Amino acid sequence: MVVLTIDGAISQTNNGSQAQFDMAMLEKLPQHSFSTQTPWYPSAVSFTGPLLRDVLAAVGAKGKNITAVALNDYKTEIPIDDATRHDVIVARLMNNRPMRVREKGPLFIVYPFDTKAELRSELYYNRAAWQLHILRIR
């Protein structure tokens, strides 16, 4: 089952002009974990998944901006530079468990908010996207 579709300015595709990933494909990318405080949970939560920059590299992304789209059509703009400047992950596990849709899953773009004071702001909280299912590279 496809859990993430990437389109736009990419060079590696597997379905027409898109790159589509199922969970097993995302699991094959190098995995990273961190615990961080977020505005959405009362205490620190552990997240695990591939780095956003590794996902972008896998599809040959060439652009300046990402539009992340959630299952509920929430959209947020993320500068591609965020993927290189910060260890942003496409989380597929929360506290070592897969996330159901009602638990903000199956995928959640998460910044390591606790690592830098600048990340603990509305700007970066708004760039986090749960129930992620599309990345549009522009």
Q: Residue 46 has what pLDDT?
A: 98
* pLDDT, one tens digit for every residue, the chain (138 residues): 999 999 999 999 999 999 999 999 999 999 999 999 999 999 999 999 999 999 999 999 999 999 999 999 999 999 999 999 999 999 999 999 999 999 999 999 999 999 999 999 999 999 999 999 999 999
28 φ/ψ angles, rounded to the nearest 5 degrees:
-75, -20
Q: Give buried/exposed letters for 23-45 (b at 16+ CB in 10 A, else e).
A: eebbeebeebebebebeeeeeeb
Kindly report the pTM of this predicted structure: 0.96
37 φ/ψ angles, rounded to the nearest 5 degrees:
-75, 145
DSSP 72-88: T--EEEEEHHHHHHS--
What's the number of CA atoms in the CB half-sphere (13 Å) around residue 72? 9
Q: Residue 50 has what pLDDT?
A: 98
Q: Do residues 86 and 36 lie in contact, with contact meaning Cβ atoms separated by under 8 Å?
A: no
Q: Residue 9 has what pLDDT?
A: 98
